[in-house]
Amino acid sequence: MKICIVAEGCYPYVVGGVSSWIHSLIKAFPEHEFVVLAILANRSFRGKFAYELPENLSQVHEVYLEDYDWCSKKTDRKRRKQLSNEEYEAVLSLLINQNVKWSVLFNLFQKREFSLNEFLMGPEFLRAVRECYQINYPEAVFSDFLWTMRSIYLPLFLALSTEIPKADLYHCVATGYAGVLGAMAKEKYDCGLLISEHGIYTREREEELIRAKWVAGIYKNVWIDQFKKMSRLAYSSADLVTSLYEHARKLQIELGCKEEITMVTPNGIDENRFATPSGERVASEDMIHVGAILRVTPIKDVKTMIRAFAFAKESVPNLKLWIMGPTEEDEKYAAECYELVEAMGVQDVTFTGRIDVTKYLWQMDFTILTSISEGQPLTILESYAAHKPVIATDVGNCRGLIFGEDDGIGPAGILTHVMNVEEITAALVELATNPQKRLELGENGYRRMMGRYKLTDMQGTYRNIYNYFEQQTK
C-alpha cells in the first residue's frame, strides 16, 4: 500500500515531537511505500532535511504557503480568470462560511489556468469580499478587511493549487492545511483518509492568535474562523480521526467530528533505547542535574524555565540546567534566552544544541517541560523510560502522563500552571532536595510508560489501522 503522510511545518525538516513520531512510524512499516507531502512556509526550507530518510520513503513533495505565482506562457496572455456563477458562489460560500462548496473549489484550483495574484486583486474576489463584509463585519474598515482576506486566502489557494501525489491512503498529521489537502486527495483519487492529531490544531491556532501581536480586534476572529472551517472539512471527509488521549478526542467531537470515527491512539517510544547508560559521562556527580529536552522556541517557554531555575538555584546552589535541543528554528528567541541567562547572572545553564538524548538523559536527576502548548510529549515518556521524574506544565496530556489515567500507579512528577515561575521554582527545589522522592516518582513513570506507551503498542495499533485501509483498497 502506498501511504502519503501530509504534515505541516515538521517532518523531515524539524527534529523532535511530531517529526520523531512520523519518522518512527515510517520506519515501523517497511512493507508499505511512503511519500511525504510537506507543507512549508516558503522555499527557504526546500530540501533542508534534518533526518536521513528511511528506504521506504520514496519521495518528499513540498507545498509552499508563501510562494511565487507561477503562470504558463499560455496563461500569460490571459491572466485574469472569469468565474462561472457556480465558481463564484463557491468562493463566496468559503468567505462567508456557509455550506462551503469544497468540491467546486477543488476543481477550480486544481484545473486553474490563471494567476492567483490577479484573481485576488480582481473584481470577482473584491465582490465576494464585499458581500462577506456586509454580512459579517460591516463595522470594520473595508480596506483593512480586504487586505486581511487576501492575506488569509493566498496560502489556502496555493495549497488548493498543489499537484497531489497519488496514494492509496492519505495520513494527515493535523487538520488545517494538511486536512484540506487530504480531503482534496480523497475526492480526487477516491482513497482512504486518516487524520492523526497530536494537538488539536484549531485550538492551538486559536491560542496563538489570541496571544499574537501582529493581528488585533475582529481580525483575530477572522483568522480563527478560517482555521475552524478547514478543520471541519477535514473531520467531515475523514474515514478515521485519531487523538493521543481521551480529552483530545472529546475536543474533536466538540469541534464537529463525528464520534463514531474517533479513536484514541497513545504515543509510544522505544524503551530499549534508554535501558542502559550510553555515552561518556558529561554531568558531574556533585551537582543535581535538570534536563530540558526541547526545541528552543517560544511555545516551549524557555524563558520561564530559566527564571524559575535562577530562583531555585538560590536555595539549591548545586543545581544545573541542561537545555538540550536545537536552537536554529527561532534564532531570535534563542538569542533572547542566552541574553536572559546573562542578564540574570545565573550560573550552570548549558545549551547543548542538537544532541543524542540517549547519551544525556541517563545522567539527569529529573527533567522539566514548561510549554504553553503540548499534545502528548514524547520527552516525558523518554524521561520515564530512563526512570526519571518530570516537572511539566498543565497543558495537553501532561496531567494524564504525570498522574495516570486510572492506572493506579501514582504520580510520576509534579504538575504546575503555565508561566507560573513561583510554582515551577518550588517544584525544582522539591525534587532537587528529595532524592528518595525522585526515585519513587521515576519508578512510577517507568511503570506507566511500560504499561501503555511502548513503541510496540503504538505500532500494533497503527498496523491494525493500516491493515484495515489496505483491505478497503482491494
Q: For residue range 232-254, what is the model confidence (pLDDT) as tens digits?
A: 999 999 999 999 999 999 999 99
Rounded mean pLDDT of 405-431? 96
Task: Mean pLDDT check: name the lowest of 70-74, 112-116, 163-167, 277-281.
Answer: 70-74
Asked if residue 6 lies in contact with residue 172, where contact means CB atoms within 8 angstroms, the answer is yes
Rounded mean pLDDT of 453-462? 94
Residue 29, SS3 per DSSP: coil
All three cell numbers of 304: 520561564
Q: What is the pLDDT of residue 329?
A: 85
Residues 335, 338, 342, CA angle at the centre, nearest 5°?
Answer: 135
Instruction: Report the alpha-carbon distance of residue 129 to residue 134 in Å, rounded.
Output: 9
Task: Mean pLDDT check: name the lowest of 68-77, 114-123, 287-296, 397-406.
Answer: 68-77
User: What is the dihedral angle through the alpha carbons of 22, 28, 33, 34, rounded to the nearest 10 degrees?
Assistant: 0
Q: Is the pLDDT of residue 70 over 70?
A: no
Asked if residue 267 lies in contact with residue 216, where contact means CB atoms within 8 angstroms, the answer is no
Q: Is the pLDDT of residue 72 over 50?
A: no
Q: What are the residue ranges of helices labelled H in 212-301?
A: 218-237, 246-254
Instruction: Report the alpha-carbon distance of residue 124 to residue 332 in Å, rounded.
Output: 41
Angle between helices 123-136 and 142-160 (to 10 degrees): 120
Residue 38, SS3 per DSSP: strand
The CATH fold assigned to 2-68+162-264 is Rossmann fold (3.40.50)
Based on the number of CB atoms within 10 Å of its own CB, is 436 exposed (0-12), middle (13-18) or buried (19 or more)?
Answer: exposed
How is the chain split into domains, by residue range? 2-68+162-264, 74-152, 271-453
Q: Strands of 33-40's sheet, edge to edge?
A: 57-64, 33-40, 2-8, 169-172, 192-197, 240-243, 262-264
Rounded mean pLDDT of 221-233? 94
Q: What are phi and psi of 323, to 5 degrees?
A: -100, 105
Name the band, by pLDDT with cuts 50, 70 and 90, for residue 16.
confident
Instruction: Report the alpha-carbon distance of residue 224 to residue 228 in Å, rounded.
Output: 6
The architecture of the domain spanning 271-453 is 3-Layer(aba) Sandwich (3.40)
Q: Is the pLDDT of residue 73 over 70?
A: no
Among left, alpha and beta (phi > 0; psi -120 to 50; other), residue 261 is alpha
Asked if residue 413 lies in contact with residue 392, where contact means CB atoms within 8 angstroms, the answer is yes
Q: What is the pLDDT of residue 157?
A: 96
Range list of β-strands (E), 26-127: 33-40, 57-64
Range list of β-strands (E), 147-220: 169-172, 192-197
Residues 272, 444, 290, CA angle at the centre, nearest 5°?
Answer: 75
Name the band, by pLDDT with cuts 50, 70 and 90, for residue 38.
very high
Q: Is the pLDDT of residue 82 over 90?
A: no
Instruction: Report the alpha-carbon distance of residue 68 to residue 71 in Å, rounded.
Output: 9
Asked if residue 197 lies in contact with residue 142, where contact means CB atoms within 8 angstroms, the answer is no
Rounded mean pLDDT of 397-405? 95
Asked if residue 203 lies in contact with residue 192, where contact means CB atoms within 8 angstroms, the answer is no
Q: Of 449, 456, 371, 375, which is closest to residue 415 (Cα–Cα)?
A: 371
Q: Of 121, 124, 116, which is closest to residue 159 (Cα–Cα)?
A: 116
Instruction: Report the alpha-carbon distance of residue 307 to residue 368 in Å, rounded.
Output: 13
Instruction: Report the alpha-carbon distance of residue 92 to residue 104 in Å, rounded.
Output: 12
All three cell numbers of 389: 521524574
Q: Of 90, 139, 87, which is closest to residue 114 (Cα–Cα)?
A: 87
Q: Which residue has the cell 484545473?
A: 111
Instruction: Report the alpha-carbon distance of residue 191 to residue 353 in Å, rounded.
Output: 41
Q: Which contiguous run of DSSP H or E holds residue 392?
A: strand 390-393
Residues 398, 418, 397, CA angle at the centre, nearest 5°?
Answer: 15
Instruction: Report the alpha-carbon distance of residue 44 to residue 59 in Å, rounded.
Output: 19
Asked if residue 197 lies in contact with residue 217, where contact means CB atoms within 8 angstroms, the answer is no
Asked if residue 442 lies in contact with residue 366, where contact means CB atoms within 8 angstroms, the answer is yes
Rounded to a whole number, what is the distance in angstroms from the first to the last CA of the chain?
10
Q: Is the pLDDT of residue 110 over 50?
A: yes
Q: What is the pLDDT of residue 69?
A: 66
Cis peptide before 377 (omega within 30 of 0): no
Q: What are the residue ranges of helices labelled H in 290-344?
A: 302-315, 331-344
Q: Of 184, 139, 364, 152, which is closest to residue 274 (Cα–Cα)?
A: 364
What are the distances in angstroms from CA 302 to CA 30, 289, 321, 368?
37, 17, 11, 10
- The mean of the pLDDT values for the chain is 93
Q: What is the pTM of this model?
A: 0.88
Give the tens place of pLDDT for each residue, 303-328: 999 999 999 999 999 999 999 999 98
Q: What are phi and psi of 33, to 5 degrees?
A: -90, 135
Q: Is the pLDDT of residue 400 over 90?
A: yes
Name the band, by pLDDT with cuts 50, 70 and 90, for residue 114.
confident
